[in-house]
Structure 1
């Protein structure tokens, strides 16, 4: 008899993304696996200065009295989002709760809202670590397919008519893994469905500022105004550095108190020192120039991988739509029957790592096993050429093995 509870023994499954990253590192392969920014893009010098500035107040190393995070950073986030047209004017710093990255926000949402047996609607495919967060609380899943403009409304209505859904989890910009962006029109229609069917929208938006062409879309929380239908999750992991573990959630005013109490019960106090350093960085950095530099760098890397995939992998049957932002190319190889097996083959035989696409589907039995997720964020152009060569060879050799 196990001493562990059901959260660990039955509901939590291994992370395929983590397993592939470990396998890549072990075999010294070129990695197209990691969905994280490139370390040379971290503003290290400025962060060093702001850490030193934060330490001028040694009290910041003590327990911070507010479990929701330092006031200055929360107010900065609220104003930044309002200037960008993402947040209703009635919202302020009191609606912002700091988190240990977006994953912490997902865990807080799960703990606050999900009871065993509750139904969560997710995109198909979607971010598997979000599924882990919901699964550990005993959620069951129903899904809606996406196209380039986001969730398909007709399919969503069909699912909602057959299931009592408590939450809808959506990645709105350059979705992980598909790269789709939910349009304003789709958001409006989904908000209408949320009102009609009585579910909460969890708007996860870590890739918004990694747009390489076109114009930004609005947000669910901005469109909803004061309807209390949306919780927004954001993070500085992709645009500053993931190691600072600085994320945030925006919650309706009527639940800010209870959510703050939940944070207190689960964490007591967040790392106020890192939050202070982040705030010092944000108010001293030229954010517009910084984001433009990120866009230029990642656009160049996307285009380089695209060019070499066209030359080496596409002739082997690979197809994909080039994303307008984010970190991922969502590829399909129609003849591929087992993307898990191929991903291991590619690492072991050609020293190139990809993530099997079937890992991103809530139902592994109906998952598309011909899909692969390729991340270009950490792959400079000179490495992209070799990555394309190796992936093309891996596909050709794997096909020959039958």
Structure 2
């Protein structure tokens, strides 16, 4: 308690003096990030002030982002640079990597297939064929829903003609899909339930809409259905955002049984499921069944989003969305108000690419390449980090989500900075949380854009850095 002692000055309210003192202690790391602050009565007695003064103090700390209150547990310190400042630092680093400034780095932050595997020549042939076939029409705006040929191909190839083409809306990637759904459905203070952790882009959109964001933890088996229903009972949830396969970042996939349970609850508690079908093309474990929420939906409760950008090529910004009948018009209007039309040429090219069977060939090729990389990544993680971390074995996708064991006194932000100094880049878990210290022990490792030699070298470096912080050697 001695560190909380201070002498009060005349003219400065005591709660202001105490809050400023505690902020300095937090900034100087004398109060650790996530450390529990003294109970109100105990600190009031120590500083010889009344309880209400400490109540005001803690309210100031919470309002200024230096503390967080956990109901029934107490008030905990939160270093501001652990979150907002670090997010800026991380974002700036990734921008430099994207611009080519960090070519010397072993980059585990990549989230898309390596462009080296993209079939440039065959796609160029398809583009030329589209231009020869359609002429100037290939460059003009199409109907608001998107190019009819592509919507027809999507319905036939991916949905066995079970989805009407007029129910398919072409979009410019999953991020735009989340954005236009939010504009159409979510108003200020509407409650949106998200997995914890989850995709940071979705969190940004929901925050921008000023939604009330509720979180439910994701474990090795996905969300806990009993906890899920408790949240539904206490809150008027409008939408539940989920990634059904190889969830970003945890890598978990929902079983068919759990999907059916969630769909049943959606009907009972009157909420809608925003399904972001992420990287489900890359299933390596044959025990994982492909059955989306949308394919199991019997009560029109699912808003389905699929992006071709992640799996195909990020520069080709195309995806599609299937809304429930109830929101079809409002979501389509939201899309039109956002950008009128997604690239006509790219839509036509993708349509031809799919109908020629080239899409299936490409996905089969990626599965062969990445299943080998996935197994190698799993092997080196086990070999070099076996006593330092635990991780979910996703069975597909392009990344692993790793937790640093408690006997090592280092968090993922510190590991990010130290690894960066060794020319290795990782993705700290804090990026995927609304506002929580829970992500400090986690980090994500993508393997899509690194060769096997650098995967092994990078994991060795990470292992050595963590080892330096073993509490009991």
Q: TM-score, normalised by structure 1?
A: 0.89
Q: How does 1:158-237 map onto structure 2 within 5 Å?
A: 158-214=230-286, 215-225=288-298, 227-237=299-309
Cα distance, 1:160 vs. partner? 1.1
User: In structure 2, what is the equivalent of residue 31 of structure 1?
Assistant: 107
Alignment pair present for 1:326 and 2:397: yes
User: In structure 1, what is the equivalent of residue 147 of structure 2?
Assistant: 70
User: In structure 2, what is the equivalent of residue 81 of structure 1?
Assistant: 158
Range that drifts further, 385-394 or 55-64: 55-64
User: In structure 1, what is the equivalent of residue 44 of structure 2?
Assistant: none
Describe the SS at the equivalent of 2:218: strand
Q: How does 1:1-400 map onto structure 2 within 5 Å?
A: 18-22=91-95, 26-27=101-102, 28-56=104-132, 57-83=134-160, 89=162, 91-214=163-286, 215-225=288-298, 227-315=299-387, 317-334=388-405, 335-348=408-421, 350-364=422-436, 366-397=437-468
Larger radius of gyration: 2
Question: Aligned partners of 1:339, 1:291: CA distance in 2, in Å?
Answer: 33
Describe the SS at the equivalent of 2:187: coil
Distance 1:110 1:63, change over 3 A: same
Cα distance, 1:263 vs. partner? 1.6
Cα distance, 1:47 vs. partner? 0.8
Question: Aligned partners of 2:401, 2:257: CA distance in 1, in Å?
Answer: 24
Question: Aligned partners of 1:62, 1:380: CA distance in 2, in Å?
Answer: 38
Distance 1:48 1:383, change over 3 A: same
Q: C-alpha root-mean-square deviation of aligned residues, in Å?
A: 2.2
Question: Aligned partners of 2:122, 2:440: CA distance in 1, in Å?
Answer: 44
Contact 1:343–1:356 at 8 Å: present in 2 too? yes
Cα distance, 1:337 vs. partner? 4.5
Distance 1:288 1:279, change over 3 A: closer
Write out per-residue CA displacement over residues 247-268 of structure 1, whole angstroms, 9 at most, x where no aligned residue. Answer: 1111123433332222222212
Cα distance, 1:139 vs. partner? 1.2
Higher relative contact order (CA 8 A, sep 6+): 1
Describe the SS at the equivalent of 1:374: strand
Question: Aligned partners of 1:188, 1:322: CA distance in 2, in Å?
Answer: 23
User: In structure 2, what is the equivalent of residue 9 of structure 1?
Assistant: none
Q: Which runs of 5+ in 1 are unaligned?
A: 1-11
Question: Aligned partners of 1:40, 1:142: CA distance in 2, in Å?
Answer: 40
Question: Aligned partners of 1:33, 1:186: CA distance in 2, in Å?
Answer: 30
Question: Aligned partners of 1:375, 1:318: CA distance in 2, in Å?
Answer: 16
Question: Aligned partners of 1:344, 1:261: CA distance in 2, in Å?
Answer: 44
Distance 1:67 1:145, change over 3 A: same
Question: Aligned partners of 1:272, 1:220: CA distance in 2, in Å?
Answer: 29
Question: Aligned partners of 2:185, 2:324: CA distance in 1, in Å?
Answer: 14
Q: Which runs of 5+ in 2 are unaligned?
A: 1-83
Contact 2:250–2:392 at 8 Å: present in 1 too? no
